[in-house]
């Protein structure tokens, strides 16, 4: 049984009144691209194609680097 890491992308969320914005990680199956609902370690395998996920030991985080260019 081969396990592969899910695809992780940064997604933007907004409050219902559009005053607040934040970022969360969205996860997708690396084989078929189906969204993994529930987030980190919420599923062990894709219910669409059966791919088993390797979530690893350390939880992913969003790293933000801001620079100013002239």
Instruction: For residue range 43-54, list pLDDT tens digits in order.
Output: 999 999 999 999
Q: How far is CA 65 from the centre of its chain?
A: 19
Reduced to 3 states (helix: H, G, I; strand: E, B; else coil), residue 17 is coil
CA dist 18 and 68 (Å) reads: 27
Query: What pTM was estimated for this model as a whole?
Result: 0.80
Q: Return the closest-CA partner of residue 4 out of 68, 69, 49.
A: 49
In order of 21, 25, 49, 55, 63, the CA distances from 66 in angstroms are 17, 19, 38, 28, 10
pLDDT tens profile 14-56: 999 989 999 999 999 999 999 999 888 889 999 999 999 999 8
């Amino acid at each position: 049984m081969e396990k592969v890491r899910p695809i992780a992308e940064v997604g933007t969320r907004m409050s219902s009144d559009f005053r607040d914005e934040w970022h969360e990680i969205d996860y997708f199956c690396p084989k078929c691209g189906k969204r993994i609902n529930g987030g980190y370690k919420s599923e062990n395998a894709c219910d669409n194609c059966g791919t088993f996920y390797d979530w690893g030991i350390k939880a992913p985080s969003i790293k933000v680097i801001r620079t100013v260019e002239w």
